């Protein structure tokens, strides 16, 4: 078991051997980088109390099932994973469903599954499920640094995807030793695929967000922004640098909202991180573009310093009227000038975005506005995803939902405008 640090806790939580002799297995990843960090934390928690990890689900006594429900497809994949775990589990094994499905659609989960589960908002329940007490549960204290080395956690995938993962992992392994950034398109690809890099370490700087987007159910499982103090993150990065780590991912549901609950900002965090003398690169996921209105110029200034290699601003649409119905807190003219500023003044930074195609009531004119934005190639990576109606999201009450085949047609139309070499599969 790797030496688990407790950056944040005054003292290491009490360690029991209540799970001694038990084997714990974590299922294939279905979720995002932030939830994968949580899954690692749950695995470390079970190991901390005596269990050992196993890659073989059939010999496991405790099976932690990773789930997601941000889209219909991820929810279906998660339920398949739950069913498969029940099929493969040995008699008496304890299956525990973790991740966002439990917080977003527990009703559907319980139609298929009668066992234990908990959501990221209610982690201490994992301790109760394993008969560990309050003191022993302190390990899961949210004010304790969370992170993990990345790399794809897939075993049961198609040959095509397996080859893709293998090629991507290999490219990272070479780039970790000899930089491949002299090949521009490959450098960009490596920047926005650090989640597949086994030498990249991802830190969860906060949980949750401050958004109220009409299509999104993530707050149902992750709650409002809860940030880790800057000092915890700095201490963690310094210890990673001391261990020779060169690539660090900062992630959350919305990194842009970092620190609002602490009276700090994402700019404060990045300025502190840039005071660390060691050489390393930063890859930053999920900054809601609304924060460009407040921090755009400062983020450009910091990006010119050269540590930041990747920034992701999920636009979700290129049409102001759709953005209003999505309840996104910005309009295009408030964010695009900042994106152009990044391209002009920090050209080494790889920029990523995400677009939802087929939002309820999306007219052909609105679709055309988004197509024009994608066509102009503001971003080096653009993920186009199908709109899916999520239970509990306000879009559920909206009328004029588009038929699924029309949504798919719009995804393909927008993907045709993407000029980057790799189009990531849409979920
Ligand atoms: S900012 Fe909006 S889209 Fe992002 S997690 Fe929060 S509610 Fe969802």
Q: What is the pLDDT of residue 5?
A: 53
Q: 23-26 and 226-227 as β-strands: parallel, antiparallel, unpaired?
A: unpaired
Flag whether pLDDT at 2 surpasses 80: no
* Residue whose CA lies nearest to ligand 1 atom number 6: 211
Flag whether pLDDT at 287 surpasses 50: yes
- In DSSP notation, 225-290 reads -EEPPHHHHHHHHHHHHHTT--EEEEE-S-GGGTTGGGT--HHHHHHHHTT--S--EEEE----GG
Give strand pairing partners of 356: 385
Of 34, 253, 383, the one to substitute when testing ligand 1's pocket (max ligand atoms within 8 A of C-beta) is 253
Q: What is the pLDDT of residue 163?
A: 87
Of 55-64, 109-118, 415-424, the range with the lowest mean pLDDT is 415-424
Give strand pairing partners of 351: 311
Please answer whether residues 393 and 214 qualify as being in contact, where contact means their C-beta atoms are separated by less than 8 angstroms: yes
* Residue whose CA lies nearest to ligand 1 atom number 8: 216
Q: 350-357 and 381-386 as β-strands: parallel, antiparallel, unpaired?
A: parallel
Q: Encode pLDDT of 323-372 as tens digits.
A: 999 999 999 999 999 999 999 999 999 999 999 999 999 999 999 999 99
Taking the centre of ligand 1 as the mean of its atom positions, its distance from the CA of residue 326, in whole angstroms, is 10
Q: What is the pLDDT of residue 418?
A: 87
pLDDT-based confidence at 107, cuts 50/70/90? very high
Q: What is the DSSP letter of 314?
A: -
Taking the centre of ligand 1 as the mean of its atom positions, its distance from the CA of residue 266, in whole angstroms, is 17
Of 104, 254, 317, the one to substitute when testing ligand 1's pocket (max ligand atoms within 8 A of C-beta) is 254
Does the domain at residues 23-140 carry the CATH identifier 3.40.50.2300? Answer: no
Q: What percent of the chain has pLDDT over 70?
A: 94
DSSP reduced 3-state for 77: helix
| Global pTM exceeds 0.85 | yes
**φ, ψ dihedrals at 374, nearest 5°:** -65, -40
Taking the centre of ligand 1 as the mean of its atom positions, its distance from the CA of residue 209, in whole angstroms, is 6
Flag whether pLDDT at 88 surpasses 50: yes
Task: Say yes or no: CB of residue 216 within 6 Å of ligand 1.
Answer: yes
Average pLDDT value over all residues in the chain? 92
Q: What is the DSSP letter of 209?
A: B
Taking the centre of ligand 1 as the mean of its atom positions, its distance from the CA of residue 212, in whole angstroms, is 7
Task: Say yes or no: CB of residue 218 within 6 Å of ligand 1.
Answer: yes
Mean pLDDT throughout 67-78? 94
Q: 350-357 and 116-117 as β-strands: parallel, antiparallel, unpaired?
A: unpaired
Flag whether pLDDT at 148 surpasses 60: yes
Task: Say yes or no: CB of residue 106 within 6 Å of ligand 1.
Answer: no
In whole angstroms, give the CA distance from residue 90 to residue 87. Answer: 8
Q: What percent of the chain has pLDDT over 90?
A: 84
Taking the centre of ligand 1 as the mean of its atom positions, its distance from the CA of residue 176, in whole angstroms, is 32
**φ, ψ dihedrals at 383, nearest 5°:** -95, 120
In whole angstroms, give the CA distance from residue 390 to residue 394. Answer: 9
Tokens of 33: 């980088």
Residue 9, Cα to own-chain centre: how many angstroms? 24
Of 144-153, 271-280, 371-380, the range with the lowest mean pLDDT is 144-153
Q: Encode pLDDT of 182-237 as tens digits.
A: 999 999 999 999 999 999 999 999 999 999 999 999 999 999 999 999 999 999 99
Task: Say yes or no: CB of residue 255 within 6 Å of ligand 1.
Answer: no
Domain residue ranges of the chain, discontinuous segments joined by + = 23-140, 150-415
Flag whether pLDDT at 423 surpasses 50: no
In whole angstroms, give the CA distance from residue 199 to residue 173. Answer: 8
Taking the centre of ligand 1 as the mean of its atom positions, its distance from the CA of residue 195, in whole angstroms, is 20
Flag whether pLDDT at 103 surpasses 70: yes
DSSP reduced 3-state for 348: coil
Task: Say yes or no: CB of residue 103 within 6 Å of ligand 1.
Answer: no
Mean pLDDT throughout 259-281? 97
Taking the centre of ligand 1 as the mean of its atom positions, its distance from the CA of residue 39, in whole angstroms, is 21
Task: Say yes or no: CB of residue 213 within 6 Å of ligand 1.
Answer: yes
Closest CA to 420 of 376, 384, 380: 380
Task: Say yes or no: CB of residue 253 within 6 Å of ligand 1.
Answer: yes
Q: CATH number of 150-415: 3.30.1340.10, 2.40.50.140, 1.20.1630.10, 3.80.30.20?
A: 3.80.30.20
pLDDT-based confidence at 77, cuts 50/70/90? very high
């Amino acid at each position: 078991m790797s030496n688990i640090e407790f950056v944040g806790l005054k003292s290491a939580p009490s360690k029991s051997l209540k799970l001694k002799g038990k084997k714990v297995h974590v299922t294939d990843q279905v979720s995002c980088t932030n939830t994968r960090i949580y899954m690692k934390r749950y695995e470390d928690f079970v190991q901390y109390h005596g269990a050992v990890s196993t890659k073989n689900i059939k010999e496991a006594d405790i099976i932690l099932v990773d789930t997601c429900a941000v889209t219909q497809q991820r929810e279906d994949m998660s339920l398949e994973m739950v069913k498969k775990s029940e099929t493969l589990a040995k008699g008496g094994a304890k299956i525990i469903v973790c991740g966002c499905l439990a917080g977003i659609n527990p009703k559907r989960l319980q139609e298929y599954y009668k066992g234990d589960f908990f959501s990221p908002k209610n982690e201490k329940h994992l301790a109760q499920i394993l008969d560990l007490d309050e003191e022993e549960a302190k390990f899961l204290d949210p004010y304790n640094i969370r992170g993990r080395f990345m790399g794809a956690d897939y075993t049961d995938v198609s040959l095509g995807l397996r080859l893709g993962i293998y090629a991507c992992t290999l490219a990272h392994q070479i780039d970790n030793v000899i930089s491949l950034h002299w090949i521009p398109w490959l450098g960009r690809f490596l920047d926005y695929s650090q989640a597949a890099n086994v030498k990249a370490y991802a830190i969860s700087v906060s949980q949750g967000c401050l958004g109220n987007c009409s299509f999104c159910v993530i707050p149902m499982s992750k709650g409002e922004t809860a940030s880790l103090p800057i000092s915890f993150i700095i201490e963690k990065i310094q210890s990673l640098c001391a261990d020779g780590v060169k690539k660090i991912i900062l992630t959350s549901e919305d990194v842009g909202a970092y620190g609002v609950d602490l009276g700090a900002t994402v700019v404060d965090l990045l300025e502190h991180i840039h005071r660390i003398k060691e050489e390393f690169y930063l890859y930053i996921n999920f900054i809601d573009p609304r924060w460009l209105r407040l921090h755009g110029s400062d983020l450009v200034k910091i990006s010119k310093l050269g540590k930041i290699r990747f920034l992701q601003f999920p636009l979700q649409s290129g049409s102001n009227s759709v953005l209003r119905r999505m309840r996104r807190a910005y309009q295009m003219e408030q964010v695009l000038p900042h994106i152009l500023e990044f391209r002009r003044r920090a050209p080494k930074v790889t920029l990523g975005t995400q677009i939802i195609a087929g939002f309820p009531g999306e007219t052909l004119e609105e679709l055309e506005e988004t197509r024009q934005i994608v066509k102009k190639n503001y971003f080096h990576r653009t993920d186009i995803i199908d709109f899916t109606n999520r239970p509990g999201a306000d879009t559920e009450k909206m009328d004029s939902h588009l038929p699924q085949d029309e949504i798919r047609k719009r995804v393909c139309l927008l993907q045709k405008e993407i000029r980057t070499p790799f189009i990531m599969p849409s979920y």
